[in-house]
Structure 1
Amino acid sequence: MRSTKITSENLEEMFDRGEDVTEFFDFDSAVVEDKTETKRVNVDFPAWVVEALDREARRIGVGRQAVIKTWIAERLDDEAARRSA
């Protein structure tokens, strides 16, 4: 974690440009409250999809699983909004 102070606006601008902003977070003391029941699923992807997911994960500084979860959740939200419109 970087000891230099940064404004939320600067942090957001860096994130939007695709810069790695993880140095500004203290993951050792982070608290995550996840009261959502989870279920494990296995999905097989072609190698090119896994490689693309890994590139995107590196670009935004998160793990592959986070990319998959986020993209699927976004798509489900979009579909739900489309159906209710």
Structure 2
Amino acid sequence: MKAKDLDKLFDDGEEDVLQYFDVSKTRRINWEHELVELELPKERLAELDAEAARLNTTRGQLISKWVRERLEKASTAVE
């Protein structure tokens, strides 16, 4: 397939173009994880779980998202 044809498929958004790529060996650069323990009162944990359920995500993914957003906001405020 030519690049212009792939571009058109992507731009039209009618087809998943990932099927045209070999993603078996893809990786995220600088994507190392470290486990962090977090203590919360049971009431806050229930609120966190409810919010995660409302957003159809997991507790851990929601916390990661919020931390990432806060750090990005803080780094742009410093610049």
Compute the TM-score of the two structures, normalised by the length of structure 2.
0.61
Aligned length: 55
Taking a change above 3 Å as real, the CA distance of residues 55 and 33 of structure 1, as seen in their structure-2 partners, is farther
What letter corresponds to residue 73 of structure 2 in structure 1?
D
Q: Is 1:61 aligned with 2:34?
A: no
Residues 43-68 of structure 1 deviation map (CA, whole Å, 9 limit, x = unaligned): 11111211111011110111110110
| Deviation, structure 1 residue 34 | 3.9
| Deviation, structure 1 residue 39 | 0.7
For structure 1, the 5+ residue unaligned runs are 1-7, 9-30
State the structure with bigger RCO (CA 8 A, min sep 6), 1 or 2: 1
For structure 2, the 5+ residue unaligned runs are 1-12, 14-23
Pairwise CA RMSD = 2.0
1:6-85 map, 5 Å: 33-35=27-29, 36-84=31-79
Q: Over alpha carbons, which structure has the higher Rg? A: 2
In 1: Cα distance, 2:58 partner to 2:28 partner: 18
Compute the TM-score of the two structures, normalised by the length of structure 1.
0.57
Instruction: Answer 1 or 2: which has greater helix percent.
Output: 2
